[in-house]
Amino acid sequence: MLYTLLYPLRDAIPAFRIFGYVSFRMVFAVLTSMILVVWLGPKFFKFLHSINFKENIRSDGPQTHQEKSGTPTMGGLLIISSMSISLFIWGNLTNIYFLMLWFCSFLLSALGFYDDYCKATRSSKGGIKAGTKFLLQIGIGAIFSVFVYLHPFDDTELHTQLFLPFLKDPIINMGIVAIPVWIFLITGFSNAVNLTDGLDGLATGLSVIALTALSIIVYITGLSAISEYLLIPFISEANEWAIFAGALIGASVAFLWYNSYPAQVFMGDTGSLMLGGAFAMTGILIKREVLILILGAIFVAETLSVILQVGSYKLRKKRIFKMAPLHHHYELGGIHENKIVVRFWIIGILLALVSLSSLKII
């Protein structure tokens, strides 16, 4: 809003030129969303307690989790609302890709909210039916993917090119096949973060790490001199998307203050579906579809552990892991959840460093 309203007045009031600097608006987008979460958090948690929106802990999981029963859920509402206010203030509301990122993230959060609402009110045991939820995720992914396909960044076919990490040139033009690939990534990461959200601060912390690394890549993708030096494709629209990532990071970091062990609130599907989807959509826009698989490798591993567990049991009637997703396997192995979370964060940081190191190789 400030960019749209004040930046056009820069000739009359030179001080307004500052709103043209993406770095300035990105920093304040981070700070604004952080402040909002910290300020609104305690009031929001009391409200959740008052309406009895509490987490129902599965009985077949680690028994130490039973003490968490009754912890407020739907904390993702705090993330999406604080992020949205920050984006409205600091974002460029004329950038159509920025608006599409925001819109589809909101849709995923709304889907997660409805699922959490059904669970909390027990109007639907287990929430929305898995098949219905999956189809709706695909639908939201399709909205974003078709939009990006029909609205290329420029006159080239850059938006459908597939780049590999450590290589500067694309390996193939995916063409219309890009649409199902993008839908798969959006749906996959949306569910992957949801599956990872099983220990206090695990999914939130990993999301902050992955989004921080991704936001750096997003920002430099929109700077012609730096992107040329680092041998990555230049996309003039991209630095505005860094403001989106910044607002999401700020809200998530502040939420981690309350979500770390012992958690005062859970983000629920309201937050996890949105975080995973936003991560994937941002990676798609900057042409890093393969890189986000490395950057989000822990999310991928958590998802694969569930697939392998279910597949093995159906085919062999044997389980590979003590429990899936993967973090519960280690927990049942006697490792305290705090140690699991910190170790996963460390791995996430290493993956972020590897991802950033891929920017200028050959």
Checking phi first, is residue 334 left (phi over 0); if not, alpha (psi -120 to 50) or beta?
Answer: left
| Residues in the chain, overall count | 362
Would you give the DSSP letter of residue 72? B
State the Cα–Cα distance between residues 295 and 206, nearest whole angstrom.
Answer: 10
Note the pLDDT tens digit of each residue in 18-32: 888 899 999 999 999
Q: What is the pLDDT of residue 236?
A: 83
Lookup: tokens for 217: 């890549």
Residue boundaries of the structural domains of the chain = 2-357
Instruction: Identify the residue whose tokens are 């890009």.
Output: 178
Q: What local confidence, expressed as pLDDT, does residue 62 receive?
A: 60
Tokens 């039916």 locate to 129
Helix (H, G, I), strand (E, B) or coil at 162: strand
**H helix runs in 122-175, sequence order:** 130-150
- Cα(255)–Cα(210) distance, integer angstroms: 16
CB 269 within 8 A of CB 76: yes
pLDDT in tens, 127-182: 788 899 999 999 999 999 999 999 987 656 788 999 998 888 889 999 999 999 99
**DSSP3 helix / strand / coil % (the chain, rounded to 5):** 70, 0, 30
Rounded distance between C-alpha atoms, residue 82 and residue 36, angstroms: 6
What six digits make up the tokens of 84? 């949205």
Residues 78, 204 contacting (CB under 8 angstroms): no
Of 275, 278, 304, 108, the residue nearest 207 (C-alpha):
275
Q: Which segments of the chain have a pLDDT < 70? A: 54-69, 123-126, 154-156, 360-362
Report DSSP state, residue 263: P
Residue that has been written with the tokens 């995923």 in this structure: 108
Kindly state the DSSP code that residue 129 receives in the 8-state scheme.
-
Tell me the pTM.
0.93
CA 69 to chain centre: 26
